[in-house]
């Protein structure tokens, strides 16, 4: 590892398949990435690109069957989560790895109070008494910006707005001071004002707590604002990885370039049509034997039809630590 630093999370060769009547769906294909202490890693791509399935595979949240984590390693400290026992996984989920799910409207249990749902991991993982857990729950609600926190412990999820429920979800994920926080599109269902508040909250919490964060999103604007490094996923694979400023300055993969062109621009012509990526995401039945983006790519070559490109470094840094891309095509300097 460069300069002796060790990743808090190290994912190597992760493959996840779903067994269906139509065949094996290869949803995650040889994904490799790491997460350094205190780092915020943005994961971007269209719906169906494998972002959520990859992150749920890490702590084995997918139902088995039909899901199967076929190969790879997910190293959290010295523990390989893909080989961990059910008891070891229970100790990891919520305690060492916090997870904020996509939809705050359905992720909370409607029949338990918010206080009960925050206190449960505190009592399970940290052995707190009810009084200690209640005190900590109040602190967590205050930390995520919910006023009159002690009174709100007795409220039910339906008594909270969408933004407040998302704050509660973040409080639950933070309850046991996890080493890693995975946030799966936590602002998708929220209006832009609440989204901005949640982003500010995450930046503040990261500064206060120093945890490593994986932030899954469709929104490249959010990535530009909060991420240190970005993974671009397509067809269940990582097609490009780079520090955030480098990715926006010098995108190498045609898919990354296409995503960046879809961002609305200030100062554009009134009535100008928004850019779109033509075509549809690939059907992932069967193992990948060719480039998954070839059917939508403007730079497709014969080799793309027969070989799935491996990730290669762009800037001479070790693979995964600088800028790398999985593409047979190489843009000329300054090529748009």
83-128 confidence digits (pLDDT tens): 999 999 998 998 899 998 877 677 899 999 999 999 999 999 989 9
- Digit-coded pLDDT (tens) for 156-185: 999 998 888 888 988 898 888 889 999 998
Q: What is the mean pLDDT of residues 321-328?
A: 94
Q: What pLDDT band is residue 269 in, cutting at 50, 70 and 90?
A: low
Say whether pLDDT at 199 is over 80. yes
CA 68 vs CA 184, 215, 286: distances in Å: 21, 24, 14
166: Cα separation from own chain's centroid: 16
Q: In sequence order, what DSSP letters do the residues of 194-223 get, joined into one string?
A: HHHHHHHHHHHHHHHH--EEEEEES-HHHH
Are 247 and 256 within 8 A, CB to CB?
Answer: yes
Residue 266: per-residue pLDDT: 67
Q: Are 58 and 74 in contact (CB under 8 A)?
A: yes
Cα end-to-end distance, the chain, whole Å: 33
Tokens representing 270? 């009134």
Structure tokens at 86: 């059910």
Q: What is the pTM of this model?
A: 0.89
- Dig out the tokens for 292 from the structure: 């998954």
| Residue 267, pLDDT score | 66
- Using one digit for the tens of pLDDT, what is the confidence trace for 51-79? 999 999 999 999 988 999 999 999 998 89
Tell me which DSSP letter residue 158 carries.
G
pLDDT-derived band at 4, boundaries 50, 70, 90? low
What is the strand order of the sheet 79-80 is part of?
A: 23-35, 9-20, 67-76, 79-80
Given a contact cutoff of 8 angstroms between Cβ atoms, the answer to whether 183 and 152 are in contact is: no
For 100, the token pair is 């904020």
151: Cβ contacts below 8 Å, ≥ 6 apart: none
Higher pLDDT, residue 325 or 286: 325
From the list 167, 174, 82, the residue with the least C-alpha distance to 126 is 174
Q: Determine the length of the chain.
A: 336
Q: Cα separation of 131 and 136, whole Å?
A: 9
Which stretch of 4-8, 50-54, 264-268, 274-278 has the lowest confidence by average pLDDT?
264-268
d(CA 177, CA 174): 5
Mean pLDDT of the chain: 88
């Amino acid at each position: 590892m460069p300069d002796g630093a060790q990743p808090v999370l190290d994912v190597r060769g992760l493959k996840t398949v779903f067994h269906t009547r139509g065949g094996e769906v290869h949803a995650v294909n040889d994904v490799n990435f790491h997460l350094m202490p205190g780092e915020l890693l943005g994961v971007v791509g269209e719906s169906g690109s494998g972002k959520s399935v990859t992150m749920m595979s890490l702590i084995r949240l997918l139902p088995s069957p039909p899901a199967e984590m076929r190969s790879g390693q997910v190293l959290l400290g010295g523990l390989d989560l893909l080989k961990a026992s059910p008891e070891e996984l229970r100790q990891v989920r919520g305690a060492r790895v916090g997870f904020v799910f996509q939809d705050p409207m359905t992720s909370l249990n409607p029949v338990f109070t918010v206080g009960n749902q925050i206190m449960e991991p505190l009592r399970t993982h940290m052995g707190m008494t009810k009084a200690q857990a209640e005190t900590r729950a109040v602190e967590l609600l205050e930390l995520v910006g919910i006023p009159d926190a002690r009174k709100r412990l007795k409220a039910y999820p339906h008594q909270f707005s969408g933004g407040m429920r998302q704050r509660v979800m973040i409080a639950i994920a933070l309850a046991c001071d996890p080493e890693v926080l995975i946030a799966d599109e936590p602002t998708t269902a929220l209006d832009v004002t609440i989204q901005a508040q949640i982003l500010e909250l995450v930046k503040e919490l990261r500064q206060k707590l120093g945890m490593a964060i994986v932030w899954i999103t469709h929104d490249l604007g959010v990535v530009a604002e909060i991420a240190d490094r970005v993974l671009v996923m397509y067809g269940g694979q990582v097609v490009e990885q780079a520090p955030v400023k480098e990715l926006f300055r010098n995108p190498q993969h045609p898919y990354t370039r296409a995503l960046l062109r879809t961002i609305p621009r200030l100062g554009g012509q009134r009535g100008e049509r928004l850019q779109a990526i033509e075509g549809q995401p690939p059907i992932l039945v069967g193992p990948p034997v060719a480039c998954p983006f070839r059917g939508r790519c403007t730079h497709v070559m014969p080799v793309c039809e027969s070989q799935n490109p491996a990730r290669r470094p762009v800037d001479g840094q070790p693979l995964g630590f600088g800028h790398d891309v999985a593409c047979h095509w190489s843009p000329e300097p300054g090529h748009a």
